[in-house]
Chains A and B, each alone.
Chain A
Amino acid sequence: MSDWLETHLPKAVLAPSFIAIMLFVYGFIGWTAWVSFTRSKLLPRYELKGTVQYEKLFASPRWDTAMDNLFVFGTLFIVIAMLLGLLLAIFLDQKVRSEGVIRTIYLYPMALSMIVTGTAWKWILNPGLGLENMVRGWGFETFTFDWLVNPDFAIYTVVLAGVWQSSGFVMALFLAGLRSVDEEIIKAAQVDGIPTWRIYSAIIIPSMAPIFLSAFIVLAHLAIKSFDLVIALTGGGPGYSTDLPATYMYAMAFSRGDIGQAASSAMIMMMVVFAIVVPYLYSELRAKHD
């Protein structure tokens, strides 16, 4: 009896979480899929009406913009935040004085809700109020920084603020990783006269593969769900040039009372996530185990 319990205990421990996820994640995805084939308006309705919502979605220029933005924003945001986080962690790991203070400064943006921080960023990035105005005040009359009000560049300000908010957390993850690398190996490498950058690129960074996985998942999740960020910073504007799928979906579901349309956009969003994340997960888990 106790043996049986012992062998099945791990499964029993995992079971409640597994069931909850199946129900509340995959069950709800199924629900969304169903609703995306209906003409639900204000509240969900369940009579199937074919693929009309998807046709509407693909005919919408605003959705095109939102998808383009997701790729631009998602790629830049993940790559920059990851590189910056790693770089800051490596630099902070050089026996820096008052490391605690600097680390807290890098980390704190994550603690703030974007509802108001967005306003602060908006002021800083606004050409007439913020940086541009300040630098011009110093005598550099030709200095221009008007990304926020330029439809072609506004999405980059969203990247700027997004990186500001999240790179500190990534830095913390990498810092924890750096500190758990076996010092003996590094000392041995140093004795052998291997240059520092080689030690990092060949020994330390590869040993942090699971941390890259965590960082990637955290960042990808933030990129795809970026909602507060856009709403607070640009409100999707100028025009709808900084719209993302998440803001599109929210607008459809809750401001416009078009739940069927929102569900179809959610399904496309999840397919994109699936296409990007699943191969990555597969290779990561494959490489590490089995």
Chain B
Amino acid sequence: MKFTAYAAVSALALITGNAALAGPEAEVLHYWTSGGEAKSVAVLQQEFAANGGTWTDMPVAGGGGDAAMTALRARVLSGNAPTAVQLKGPAIQEWYEEGVLADISNVANTEGWDKVLPASIANHMKCEGTWCAAPVNVHRVDWIWANAEILAANGIEMPTTWDEFNAASEKLAAAGITPLAHGGQAWQDATVFEAVVLGIGGPEFFQKALVDLDPDTLTSDTMKAAFDQMRTLRGYVDSNFSGRDWNLATAMVMNGEAAFQIMGDWAKGEFLAAGKEPGKDFLCASTPGEGFLYNVDSFAMFEVDGDDKRAGQDLLAKLVVGPGFQETFNLNKGSIPARTDVGLDKFDSCAHLSAQDMNASSEGGSLLPSYAHGMALRGAQAGAITDVVTAHFNSDMSSADAVQMLSDAVANSY
């Protein structure tokens, strides 16, 4: 009897001892694999290790996360889900509905995420009231980048309305400069489109059209005007824009071949990598019109077995939203912290502008999710809209046909 009790105690000691030895563990599936992005994730891994965790890296790049999502489905179906996955937007809720996400509310509540995150961003991280994901950063999508020298030489100010933009472009075109550097890939067409919709229709219209998918709004005259503006923009790109990578378009602005580019703030990384200075060599401004379109990267935790893995999820969630990581990561990535209480002393002027606008629009209700970057809609609907936008931009389709196709495609996508 004594003997068995002893055995039981020592067995228990062995188990707990092992658990303490193993510590938090995480296999992290993400698609940040290159240069600055990878270094930013490495910061997280170091912090994770410093807190006793073991990080197993599972990087899968490509197609804005498409390849990673393919791998994720296979992993989930084979009963071998990764511990944490880079997921964003409504995809988080979609995975939650499949019943495979873990609840990280206890971390979120202890850390007081509700107090430090803007409400609209916090909503993306919640599934039916519980916290199921942790935000990393806020990319602003509706940026317009310009070559400072060209603008000065042609006496052009950064445009604040689309009419001003068009006037400036006409002037540039007359001077033999490509007004708009653009890469003809579907997602880039969509990026420009949503900036145009926001600028022409305003935040409320954007919400109704591209978030709520209201059929009447989709076929409205304002939407036609947005497609008209897309057709006008088509006239401002050079003839070789098809299939061009976004960074080559950025290079055109840098080298003075083109004046403007409409792209998210990751474009800043290209300028900085080439040794250009914001405000001096290149200019950043929000695209004409009110509002702020965000693209928030986040990590979701998957349901896994084992205490060490669960401990890993909690630790990871805590670190991801922690102020230290939010600062370092976003300095590397060109975005701004999702937390509003992180000091921005080390950030550049574009990031300051972004943070200011985020706070202002958060209060004014014009802080909106980017449809082009998978924040506003589920994949099927977003994809259906992009099909129409890119088909319109790359053909001579009329705006009236485009809005009709748009509402058909959306209706057909459910």
Contacts and interface: CB of A to CB of B under 8 A. Distances in A.
Task: Note whether A and B contact each other (Cβ less than 8 A).
Answer: yes
A43 B243 CA distance: 31
Contact of A56 (B378, B390, B395, B412): B412
B186 A240 contact: yes
Interface string B217-239: 00000000000000000000011
B98 A128 contact: no
Q: Which 4 A-B pairs have the closest CB atoms?
A: A239-B394, A149-B242, A128-B240, A256-B379
Given A238-B390, A254-B69, A258-B380, 18 more contacts: A41-B94, A43-B73, A43-B98, A56-B412, A62-B387, A126-B240, A127-B240, A149-B240, A149-B241, A151-B395, A235-B185, A238-B394, A239-B394, A240-B391, A254-B66, A255-B66, A257-B91, A261-B380
A149 B76 CA distance: 39
B405 interface: yes
Interface of A is mostly: loop
Given A61-B405, A256-B379, A237 B94 contact: no
Contact of B94 (A42, A59, A231, A234): A42
Given A129-B240, A149-B239, A254-B70, A237 B380 contact: no
A290 B389 CA distance: 56
A237 B186 contact: yes
Interface string A219-259: 00000000000010111111111000000000110111110
B184 A149 contact: yes
Interface centre among B98, B379, B395, B413 (most CB of A within 10 A): B379
A255 B390 contact: no
Nearest to A233: B243
A68 interface: no
Interface string B294-329: 000000000000000000000000000000000000
Contacts of A70: none
Contact of A240 (B242, B387, B405, B408): B387
8 contacts: A44-B77, A60-B409, A62-B391, A149-B184, A149-B243, A151-B395, A238-B243, A256-B383
A60 B412 CA distance: 8
B266 interface: no
Interface string A200-230: 0000000000000000000000000000000
B55 interface: no
Interface in B355-414: 378-380, 382-383, 387, 390-391, 393-395, 405, 408-409, 412-413
Interface residues of A, number: 37
B366 to A, nearest CB: 28
A240 B392 CA distance: 10
Interface in A124-148: 126-129, 146, 148
A241 B158 CA distance: 35
Nearest to B392: A239
Contacts of A41: 94, 380
Contact of B239 (A127, A235, A258): A127
B95 interface: yes
B390 A239 contact: yes
Given A126-B240, A128-B238, A149-B240, A236 B69 contact: no
Contacts of A127: 239-240
A154 interface: yes
A103 interface: no
A152 to B, nearest CB: 10
Nearest to A152: B395
Given A42-B95, A61-B405, A239 B391 contact: yes
A237 B391 contact: no
A241 B391 CA distance: 8
A258 B379 contact: yes
B63 interface: yes
Contacts of A256: 379-380, 382-383
A48 to B, nearest CB: 18
A117 B150 CA distance: 35
Interface string B244-287: 10000000000000000000000000000000000000000000
Nearest to A122: B243
A257 B94 contact: yes
